[in-house]
Amino acid sequence: MKKISFRNDVLPLKNELFRLALRITLNRVEAEDVVQETMIKVWNRRDRWEELDSIAAFCLTICRNIAIDKMRKMENQNQSLADEHDAPDQSYSSNPEEQAMQQDRIQLVRRLIDNLPEKQRSVMQLRDIEGKSYKEIAQVLDISEEQVKINIFRARQTIRQKFIETEKYGL
């Protein structure tokens, strides 16, 4: 088996880990902390790297667990999670520039995803943004592939529903 190097195999995962952490915690600072903790944890378990099927899945699993822990702690401290995703910005509807509108729509979709339950959010992030297979996602979340499919299905249905609603009523 290939020798795993921290600098070449683990460190480049930082952005992927960061995006997953951000999807879960919805807070950039927290997400960065999560990635940092993940890296340290992965490093401390370096004697087990050789036994792993996929170092990426291992890192993502640790990252998700830490992020969920952090989120729970934050909830315990009664901190608001709403800082990053406040109410949709209404100003864009009057913006004539298509590009700016597009940007706002992307923000809107992000917000839609961010409002999903954590599991669906993580699944959606890993599938639609990172382009991972069901098998890999199942490995990361430690659930069956069927469960992954169900979560993807629910997430997409919710997003679609939101799209339809938006279309009907506007924002």
Partner 1 sequence: MDYKYIEQLLERYWQGETTLQEESILRAFFCQPDIPEHLRKYQPLFVLEKEESLGDDFDGRILGMIEEEEQPKAKIVTLTSRLMPLFKAAAIVAIILTLGNAAQAPWNYGWDDPKDEYAKFHQQNTDSVNLLNPIQAENVNDSALAPKPEAPQYIE
Residue 135 makes contact with partner 1 by CB under 8 A = no
Residue 161 phi/psi, 5° resolution?
-55, -45
Stretch that binds partner 1, among 54-62, 85-93, 108-116, 138-146 (CB under 8 A): 108-116
Round to the nearest angstrom and report the end-to-end CA distance of the chain. 53
Residue 149 makes contact with partner 1 by CB under 8 A = yes
* Nearest approach, Cβ of residue 76 and partner 1 (Å): 26
Residue 108 makes contact with partner 1 by CB under 8 A = yes
Give CB contacts under 8 A, 24+ apart, made by 112-117. Answer: 112/158, 112/159, 112/162, 113/23, 113/155, 113/159, 114/23, 114/26, 114/84, 114/85, 115/85, 116/155, 116/158, 116/159
Report d(CA 23, CA 27) in Å as an integer: 8
Residue 156 makes contact with partner 1 by CB under 8 A = yes
* Nearest approach, Cβ of residue 15 and partner 1 (Å): 4
Residue 157 makes contact with partner 1 by CB under 8 A = yes
Residue 101 structure tokens = 């509108």
Stretch that binds partner 1, among 15-23, 51-59, 68-76, 138-146 (CB under 8 A): 15-23
Residue 60 structure tokens = 């993502």
Residues near partner 1 (CB under 8 A) are: 6-7, 11, 14-16, 18-19, 22, 28, 32, 35-36, 39-40, 43, 102, 105-106, 108-110, 127-131, 133, 149, 152-153, 156-157, 159-160, 163, 166-167
